[in-house]
Chain A
Amino acid sequence: MTTIDPTAPPTGTPHPLEVAARRARDVGDALARTGDDHEIEHVWKDKPGFWGFFTTVDHKRLGTRYLYTAFVLFMFAGVQALVMRTQLAQPDEKLVGPQAYNELFTMHGTTMIFLFNTPVFAGFANYLLPLQLGARDLAFPRLNAFSYWIYLFAAAFMYTSFLSGHIPDGGWFAYAPLTEVPYSPGHGMDFWALGVAFVGISTTVGAVNFIVTVFKMRAPGMTLNRIPLFVWSIVAMAFMIVFAVPAITEASLMLAMDRLFHTAFFDPARGGAPLLYQHLFWFWGHPEVYILFLPAVGMMLTTIPVFSRQRLAGYLWAATAMVAIAFISFGVWVHHMFATGLPTGSMGVFSAASLVIAIPSGVLYLCWIATMLQGRVQWTTPMLFSLGFLLIFLMGGITGVMVAVMPFDWQATDSYFVVAHFHYVLNGAVVFPIFAGVYYWAPKITGRLLSERLGRWSFWTMFVSFHVAFFPMHVLGLMGMPRRVYSYHDGFGWGTLNLLSTIGAFVFGLGALLTFVNVAWSRRHGEVAGANPWGADTLEWATSSPPPDHNFTATPLVRSRHPLWDAPPAVLAVGTGDADETRALGRDGALDRSAAVTTGNETEPDGEILVPEPTVLPLVAAAGVATVFVGLLVKATLVGAVGVGVALVGVVWWMWRTEEDFV
């Protein structure tokens, strides 16, 4: 009796890319074996134990650390959501009072946006960028470590508010003058304002790292026209961060100054302008949601082609669409301010731009659908989450163009309709891709596949319960339920839908939990992955799982957008003789602890960057910066001064060897 493998393609002529995918598995395995080299391992390994933890500059270790930290914060924010949903499940519920409820929705939003969504993509980018580019690390490994420590300290800083009893309660966008001292006494909003500026440092330096890495450290032959689309999405994201984050830094620090030093930026009595806060906040705030959306799109542009066994239809269209979204997103921020009484003519421009931005998103959809139609879809768990994304983002996008239309927005503003919209786009269009990314890349990171069975359970639970939780919110909004209310009376008739939404929310939490259980269980019991379990096309699958510390002994020469799906043989780039430009590409470069640098239209070898030895200096500098923020919070000049001193010592010492490190 022949056994039938349900995951194998139908018999008959195999799809040419299925053949390529199977070959890619073998090529991946073969290339991965070249990395097994004890001499090189010795050069690249971290210091052992405790000290190693604090001194590592390895992008894979730091990336994984980002992911773990982000998911812990995701769980905190999830619990906050479930408490809110419990409070709203029935009319006149007395579980939490208004003060506690305000704190919950503030910290839920703040944690999800600042402390989970943004850093989780930094974590994925950290881990994947060098591998997908054929490089041995990021351009600035110590800056990478600094970026992680700042993130961790900023998250701790914000959550210390729970210990102090002064929890931020002014909403995650913290509009002044509500959040100024007269209406928000206590330290709660100080934690928020300073914490937001604090975590922005991490985001910014991470973006600088990613941009320079992509432009300087691609493998030879990997022209910008050939980089993986996930890398394109990170480039777009990083440029957006460089231009947008200063605005939120300013908004939050101006708020902090108003609160701590009694400045008058947003105090109308002394000539300040509350709307200024909103402009500054949303100038960042809108690009921020695309800063989250684009890497999610990048992940979908990765998984859908791989599991359709089809090269993406319209690579150039997709890359252009992402860049277009990045640009246009800077021109729509006033759509968050439609109800502020600004001149309708000017707001009309922003309304138009908010509609226009749907077009590149539509282009991306066409690329995905065309790819799936032309290929042969394999319904693995990452592909299921990708499908979930396609369906949920479609709905979120539709409600998005609805609220882009001013008259409709004036009815829906501050109602649960808006809450429904942004959860469809942020949860559906960002969190579902993140889960797809977890299932897709966990085998590379840990060496073991996650359980497909548990994955399917997790997906379907999350997908169905997502709609149960969030769809009713559209209806509730149109029925007039305002957002940010801690309770409501029986007579409004909102009870049934709220109860339904709460049930959905709890089941959603359960679904997410299944994935976490899956991750924990698979570390020991998961099927061994091998280098390229999915038969994928990008370079990270040309290393072992997990990759060796140095990623690549010999750097692949890239000749197309889909290196592992090329006709064999795979080509390795080596130099002739001892030329400076090409030394870093091969084994000698790996022994020297160096990473190759390329340049020019043809992406030719141009030299090397020495990857720094593990060092505690990034941690020292981050601790200094943290001390400065603590000093500001408690208004103690001495503490602030000590912090500045420590940070300066850390940074100067670290930068002292600039000439040696960057030839």
Chain B
Amino acid sequence: MSTADASLPPAFVTQPLPLATEPLRRRARPAAWWGMVLVVTTEAMIFAGLLSSWFYLRATSDQWPIGGLPSPKLWPIWAYSLVLVGSSIPVHLAHRAVPRGRRRAARVWLAVGFVMGAAFLARTAWDFAHAEFPIDRNAYASIFHTTVGLHALHVLAGLLMSAGVQVKLATGRVDRRRHLSVEMFALYWHFVDAVWIAVFASLYLSMH
């Protein structure tokens, strides 16, 4: 059904758009969330490139690690890996709790996730400071430290995001209706954890 609108030039009619009559369906995801999806995709390509480089250097080297450097030890890093990947659980629980209005629970879960991530980051930093070889020893050292280091920077960025979301929750900027920051953070955090699985498998597990 169309009607002529007197305020518009005669060339037009206006068409009222029918609205959904059934109960409010789940709204499409907001634009910013999709923006984060694309950022995650492009960051994933960075890690794909680094891991490809790692495998390429490995395939083209007679000896791996190059120069007789020690292979990375699995302990205690596999424990810290479990901590990091496990931190996706509290983050997910927080993500679920916010739309249900359970703010206190969400803040607790976010804090737990933060501590777990921070523990992993601290260990990575300690490992770097006490590394058995510097980044410029040879190509193995370079790709190893660059990959782990870049991942650690991503963990750091995630922790900063987590802190921001926690402040927003505490001050009421994020609530049961408006919680886009939590969704974007959760997506990013799960990505960081998934990348670590790939990095750990390639740089650590495949060496044993």
| A interface residues, Cβ below 8 angstroms from B | 26-27, 30-31, 33-34, 139-140, 143, 204, 207-209, 211-212, 215-217, 220, 242-243, 245-247, 249-250, 254, 257, 261-265, 267, 270-273, 275-276, 279-280, 283, 554, 557, 568-576, 579, 581-582, 585, 597, 599-600, 604-607, 609, 648, 652, 655-656, 658-663
Contacts and interface: CB of A to CB of B under 8 A. Distances in A.
The 4 closest A-B pairs by CB, nearest first: A271-B66, A599-B28, A263-B142, A246-B45
Interface in B129-179: 135-143, 146, 160, 164, 168, 173-174, 178-179
Contacts, number: 184
Contacts of A209: 35
Contact of A216 (B19, B31, B173, B180): B31
A280 B49 contact: yes
Given A215-B34, A265-B143, A271-B66, A34 B9 contact: yes
Contact of A574 (B17, B32, B137, B181): B17
Given A140-B35, A572-B12, A659-B178, A264 B139 contact: yes
A264 B142 CA distance: 6
A609 B173 CA distance: 18
B69 to A, nearest CB: 10
A607 B19 CA distance: 12
B45 A571 contact: no
B11 A569 contact: yes
B53 interface: yes
B141 to A, nearest CB: 7
A575 B138 contact: no
Contact of A250 (B14, B16, B50, B180): B50
Contacts of B12: 30-31, 569-572
A510 B146 CA distance: 49
B112 interface: no
B7 to A, nearest CB: 9
B interface secondary structure, majority? helix
A271 B136 contact: no
Contact of B139 (A220, A267, A581, A607): A267
A571 B15 contact: yes
A211 B143 CA distance: 32
B19 A582 contact: yes
Given A33-B9, A648-B160, A659-B178, 7 more contacts: A212-B34, A243-B42, A263-B146, A264-B141, A264-B142, A568-B11, A571-B2
A572 B17 CA distance: 10
Nearest to A243: B45
A255 B48 CA distance: 18
A658 B142 contact: no
B15 A574 contact: yes
B38 A208 contact: yes
